[in-house]
């Protein structure tokens, strides 16, 4: 199941970032590009044992736990806001399932991966700059994707333009 990038932007990413007081065009575009490169805008995985991440942003359970233990634990106001996005029962019994079933929560955690590195974005960043941020702060060490792949997927999946692989 693919998510329409425009709907994802308007119905999930923008409202979530607004709720977190971090809304700007580049932040939205960075998260759209991240979803495009990490899951091809497909939030549901098919149980592939080789897939280390979960959901739309392909966040590993280890990264998810690390965000809570090393970042959100030291920002109780932000932690409270993000916890407010999670389900009441599911989060307590299986918190990682929230990454695939709760798009607002997954968006908030994905943004925290960037935010904990003190990523600062101008209102309008180039796709190339966004790809470099993804490569530096988000990309998993075993990923075969590159900054160039980020740009191609962003253009194909987010902007809906077909580009040939160079």
List, as own/partner pairs, every contact residues 145-151 make where C-beta atoms lie below 8 angstroms and the sequence separation is at least 24, other chains included. 145/37, 149/37, 150/33, 150/36, 150/37, 151/127
Q: For residue range 7-53, what is the model confidence (pLDDT) as tens digits? A: 999 999 999 999 999 999 999 999 999 999 999 998 775 544 445 78
Q: Is 163 inside a domain boundary?
A: no
Neighbours of 27 (CB within 10 A): 22
Which residues span the domain enclosing 153? 5-158
Q: Is 64 inside a domain boundary?
A: yes
Residue 2: its pLDDT value, please?
Answer: 81
Number of compact structural domains in the chain? 1
Neighbours of 160 (CB within 10 A): 10
Q: Is 82 inside a domain boundary?
A: yes
Q: Is 56 inside a domain boundary?
A: yes
Q: For residue range 86-126, what is the model confidence (pLDDT) as tens digits? A: 988 888 788 898 999 999 999 999 999 999 999 889 999 99
Q: Which residue has the tokens 């739309």?
A: 56
Q: Is 165 inside a domain boundary?
A: no
Query: Angle at the Cα of 135 (from 132 to 136), degrees rounded to 5?
Result: 85
Q: Is 80 inside a domain boundary?
A: yes
Q: Is 166 inside a domain boundary?
A: no
Q: Is 21 inside a domain boundary?
A: yes
Residue 142: its pLDDT value, please?
Answer: 79
In 3D, which of 137, 143, 144 has the Cα closest to residue 67? Answer: 137
């Amino acid at each position: 199941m693919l998510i329409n990038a425009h709907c994802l932007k308007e119905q999930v990413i923008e409202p979530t970032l607004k709720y977190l007081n971090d809304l700007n065009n580049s932040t939205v575009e960075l998260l759209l590009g991240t979803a495009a490169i990490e899951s091809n805008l497909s939030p549901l995985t098919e149980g592939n044992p080789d897939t280390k991440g979960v959901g739309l942003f392909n966040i590993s359970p280890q990264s998810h736990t690390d965000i809570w233990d090393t970042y959100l634990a030291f920002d109780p106001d932000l932690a409270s806001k993000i916890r407010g996005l999670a389900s009441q029962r599911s989060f307590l019994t299986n918190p990682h399932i929230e990454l695939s079933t709760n798009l607002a929560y997954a968006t908030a955690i994905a943004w925290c991966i960037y935010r904990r590195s003190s990523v600062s974005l101008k209102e309008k960043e180039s796709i190339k700059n966004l790809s470099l941020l993804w490569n530096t702060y988000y990309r998993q060490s075993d990923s075969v994707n590159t900054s160039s792949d980020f740009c191609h997927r962003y253009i194909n999946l987010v902007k809906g333009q077909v580009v040939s692989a160079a």
